[in-house]
Amino acid sequence: MPIRVITGVNESDPITGDSHASTITSNASSRVSVSESEPLPIDNRIVVNQSNYLSTIGGTIDSTKEYFIDGIVDVGTTSIVVPTTGMTLRGQSFDISGLVSTEDNYTMFISETSLIGSGNILGQDYYIETSGVSSKVYEIYDATGFNAFEFQRVNYINCTSLGDIHNYRQGLESGTGRFGGSPSLTLHGTWVGGFRITTSIVRSMSDTTTEPLFKAGTAFLMNSRFLTDMNVDLGTLQPLLDFAPANFNNTDILQLQGMLVTRDGVSDPTDVNLTPNISEIDVASQWKSNLGLHNTFVGGMLAVTTEVETVIATQDVSVVLLGTQTSNDLQHFDTPSNGQLRLLGNVPTEYTIVFDFVIVGAANGEYELELIKNDGGVETIVRSQLRVINKLQGGRDVAYFSGQYNTHLHNTDFVYWKIKNTTGTQNATVELGSMWHVQTR
């Protein structure tokens, strides 16, 4: 039976935007099939390539469209102005799609002005290179303070600087990379929602740069957590980050967790240039499971360094255990008064108190040692231990108090010890070398 060929249905190519004709074939039984060489077009996509970048990303950005980077696009001196309604970028992969410029004194992404600002900046599957002298990737201001700066599988290649981000609500990177150059990112203003960089790698950094990967800019204040698990090999002079405790508005929110940090391939957690203005013991820090970087071990110890007799005026009434107690290795704890350990952070909340005291008292007398928790002025006995003073030949009469108790602590809660004589009013003295410590469970 004869075959009829019908040509004519015009369709747009989803990548080039060119029109082409579909071919429809039919037989006498009216069976129809459509043969197409290209997939159906994707709505709301603008393709960016070397021939049209001036009129696409170099023009007025349409925030309702996705800008698709087709290949490697050299944008020269053209900056991309991100509007208050934001911008979405996507490529085929960070091997195939890229935006590059080798110009000096150039910035790739900017706001119209610092007062007008920009909206969300969202990107996926491309790379960026700004390798000119005094050039950078971003000079962006949040238009409202409630926008996001988020990227997936985006690499920064040989960038002189990543630049400056001002007052964004939050940042997120997943699967990103920094390769070559000195890709320092400066955060300015108040960040309400935090910044998270996960499954990210840093390699081949400049050995002459002294710029950190991340640093605090003007009035930088992080209200939520800054968290990263990056795998980093730093340049010879390069810090990991330059933040200070004052840059964090809450405790425990600078979270460096599961990082692998080296410098020129060598791991050295004692390197003071890794984090020059903050450490693992600062109350803002919560660092754990890191290699090549110190970790935070919340807790601390007190040891008796001067014996002082505790006067017991009334039988079976508890009094504060005296004796000078010297602190050691306090992390997120302090000693508001002698013999007290106070929590300064928010996490964790579960703790173990381990103690080992030798107490001198009246022979054959019974003494009870009490662990006291003060929670906002409300005092409770966590646990107590009763011991009989041993009458020892040729020495002082002592009892041995030791063990461990578990309790919950919250910010500003503190613990200390009291003692009472349940059988009389003879005094007690805790011996030199007696000690106790608080540690996380």
Fold of 299-440: Jelly Rolls (2.60.120)
pLDDT one digit per residue (tens) for the chain, 441 residues: 343 333 333 444 433 344 443 333 334 333 434 444 555 567 899 999 999 999 999 999 999 999 999 999 999 999 999 999 999 999 999 999 999 999 999 999 999 999 999 999 999 999 999 999 999 999 999 999 999 999 999 999 999 999 999 999 999 999 999 999 999 999 999 999 999 999 999 999 999 999 999 999 999 999 999 999 999 999 999 999 999 999 999 999 999 999 999 999 999 999 999 999 999 999 999 999 999 999 999 999 999 999 999 999 999 999 999 999 999 999 999 999 999 999 999 988 999 999 999 999 999 999 999 999 999 999 999 999 999 999 876 678 999 999 999 999 999 999 999 999 999 999 999 999 999 999 999
Under a CB-based contact definition with an 8 Å cutoff, are residues 155 and 128 in contact?
Answer: yes
Q: How far is the CA of 26 from the CAs of 37, 38, 181, 225, in angstroms?
A: 18, 21, 60, 63
| 115 vs 52: CA distance, rounded Å | 29
Q: Residue 364: beta bridge partners?
A: none
Residue 73's identity, in one-letter code, is V
Measured in whole angstroms, how far is the alpha carbon of residue 108 from the centre of its chain? 26
Strands (DSSP E) contained in 219-295 are 221-222, 226-228, 231-234, 241-242, 254-256, 260-263
How far is 60 from 71, CA to CA, in rounded Å?
21
- The pLDDT score that the predictor gives to residue 247 is 98
- Both structure tokens of 250: 């809450």
* Residues 341, 335 contacting (CB under 8 angstroms): yes
Q: What is the pLDDT of residue 21?
A: 39
- The pLDDT score that the predictor gives to residue 9 is 37
Peptide bond into 348 cis (omega under 30): yes
- Given its phi and psi angles, is residue 364 left (phi above 0), alpha (psi -120 to 50 degrees) or beta? left
Q: What is this structure's pTM?
A: 0.86
